[in-house]
């Protein structure tokens, strides 16, 4: 038996109460993902994942390194296709990334060749104007509106107007992620997918970013799928925590080991953290801090 596996911890998946189907935004049905290795062997990553995400939820996905958290996020994003099963977004099968699903990765979250303001206006501009129509008078009129909206988003993220003309490499890691969130939110996506978005930040900046994303989630009511390997972060941010873990040999794929709602009361966090810790096999509450 593999230490830290579901069977080892004895934690049983907690089923969520049934909610109205109309609230359902993302559905993962019997998802299996496996890769063929160079030696011809098959490596299972995800093994029969069933997961529903409802509108307005803030879902934190947590698990050990290599358990398939990012793969799960990329499936929802449409950047990867499952070997078996299907991913549905608003009832339609996800086949490729589109504007309904915003994306904030850990690295390369901004276009390096564009200034902050151009990064944020990129989405609205590219959506409304093709390569040819962007040289029309209408484009320049609309561009002013896009820029005004981008500046609003920038201030909302706590950045200054003077940052608008900077290039990404002139910003700190935290500022870059703020811009990346603004860039995604300006498209008003149905779900915001964040892949270890704060992992590269120092603890102080990370706390600030956690507060910010929680505030943005409250204000916009955007559904968030947040992948992290930090248990404290997952519990503090999420309204729901999903733990991915292998339930058998190391060669098997990950399953949903735990799926539970996070209560509002902070007193219960420690108890939840213990359960998450047990399910993931983490030896500390937060191995980073």
Taking CB under 8 A as the binding criterion, the range among 16-24, 98-106, 138-146, 205-213 that sits at the site for other proteins is 98-106
Please report how close the Cβ of residue 29 comes to other proteins at its closest, in angstroms: 22
CB of 248 to other proteins, least distance (A): 31
Query: How far is Cα 167 from Cα 1, in angstroms, rounded to an integer?
Result: 50
Lookup result for tokens 């078996």 = 84
Rounded to 5 degrees, what angle do the CA atoms 21, 26, 27 make? 75
Provide, rounded to whole angstroms, the least separation between the CB of residue 258 and other proteins.
Answer: 28
- Examine residue 105 and tell whether it contacts other proteins (CB under 8 A): yes
- Contact status: 167 vs other proteins (CB under 8 A): yes
Strand pairing report for 240-246 and 58-63: parallel
One residue of 19, 36, 98, 274 binding other proteins per CB under 8 A: 98
Q: In the chain, which ranges are continuous DSSP H helix? A: 6-9, 69-77, 116-128, 137-156, 173-185, 203-220, 231-237, 269-280
- 123 is an interface residue for other proteins by CB under 8 A: yes
Closest separation between CB of residue 40 and other proteins, Å?
23
Q: Does 96 bind other proteins (CB under 8 A)?
A: yes
Cβ-count burial 121-144 (b if 16+ within 10 Å, e if not) = bbbbbeeebeeeeeeeeeeeebbe
Are the C-beta atoms of 192 and 159 separated by less than 8 Å? Answer: no
Q: Does 187 bind other proteins (CB under 8 A)?
A: yes
Please state the closest distance from residue 164 (CB atom) to other proteins, in A: 14
CA distance 224 to 201: 20
Number of residues that bind other proteins (CB under 8 A): 32
Residue 13 DSSP class: P
Is residue 82 a contact residue for other proteins (CB under 8 A)? Answer: no
Minimum distance, C-beta of residue 124 to other proteins, in the bound complex (Å): 8
Instruction: Answer for the pair 78, 98: CB distance below 8 angstroms, yes or no.
Output: yes
List CB contacts of 134: < 8 A, sequence separation 6 or more. 125
- Using CB under 8 A as the binding rule, whether residue 101 contacts other proteins is answered as yes
Residue with tokens 């099963």: 85
Among 49, 63, 103, 233, binds other proteins (CB under 8 A): 103
Q: Pick the piece of the chain touching other proteins (CB under 8 A) from 3-11, 28-36, 96-104, 281-289.
A: 96-104
Stretch that binds other proteins, among 23-31, 40-48, 56-64, 122-130 (CB under 8 A): 122-130
CA distances to 56, 138, 234 from 59, in Å: 9, 40, 8
Least distance from C-beta 156 to other proteins, angstroms?
18
Q: Do 35 and 42 contact (CB within 8 A), yes or no?
A: yes
Q: Which one among 113, 250, 264, 267 touches other proteins, defined by CB under 8 A?
A: 113
3-class DSSP state of 159? coil
Taking the complex as a whole, how short is the minimal distance between the CB of residue 240 and other proteins, in angstroms? 23
Instruction: Give the binding site for other proteins (CB under 8 A).
Output: 77-79, 96-99, 101-103, 105, 107-109, 111-114, 122-124, 126-127, 130-131, 167-169, 183-184, 187, 189
């Amino acid at each position: 038996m593999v230490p830290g596996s579901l069977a080892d911890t004895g934690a049983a998946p907690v089923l969520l109460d049934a909610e109205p189907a109309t609230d359902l935004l993302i559905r993962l049905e019997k998802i299996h993902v496996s890769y063929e290795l160079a030696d011809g062997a098959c490596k299972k990553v995800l093994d029969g994942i069933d997961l529903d995400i409802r509108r307005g939820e803030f879902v934190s996905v947590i698990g050990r390194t290599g358990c398939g958290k990012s793969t799960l996020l990329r499936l929802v994003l449409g950047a990867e296709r499952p070997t078996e099963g299907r991913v549905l977004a608003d009832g339609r099968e996800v086949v490729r990334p589109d504007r309904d699903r915003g994306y904030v990765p850990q690295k390369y979250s901004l276009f390096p060749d564009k200034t902050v303001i151009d990064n944020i206006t990129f989405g609205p501009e590219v959506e409304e104007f093709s390569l040819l129509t962007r040289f029309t008078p209408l484009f320049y009129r609309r561009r002013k509106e896009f820029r005004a909206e981008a500046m609003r988003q920038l201030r909302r993220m706590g950045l200054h107007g003077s940052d608008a003309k900077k290039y990404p490499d002139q910003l700190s890691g935290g500022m870059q992620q703020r811009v990346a969130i603004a860039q995604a939110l300006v498209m008003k996506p149905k779900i915001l997918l964040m892949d270890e978005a704060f992992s590269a930040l120092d603890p102080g900046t990370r706390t600030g970013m956690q507060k910010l994303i929680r505030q943005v989630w409250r204000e916009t009511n955007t559904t968030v799928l947040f992948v992290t390997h930090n248990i404290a972060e997952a519990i503090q941010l999420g309204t729901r925590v999903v733990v991915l873990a292998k339930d058998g040999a190391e060669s098997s794929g990950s399953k949903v080991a735990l799926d539970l709602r996070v209560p509002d009361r902070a007193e219960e966090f420690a108890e939840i953290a213990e359960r998450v810790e047990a399910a993931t096999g983490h030896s500390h509450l937060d191995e980073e801090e």
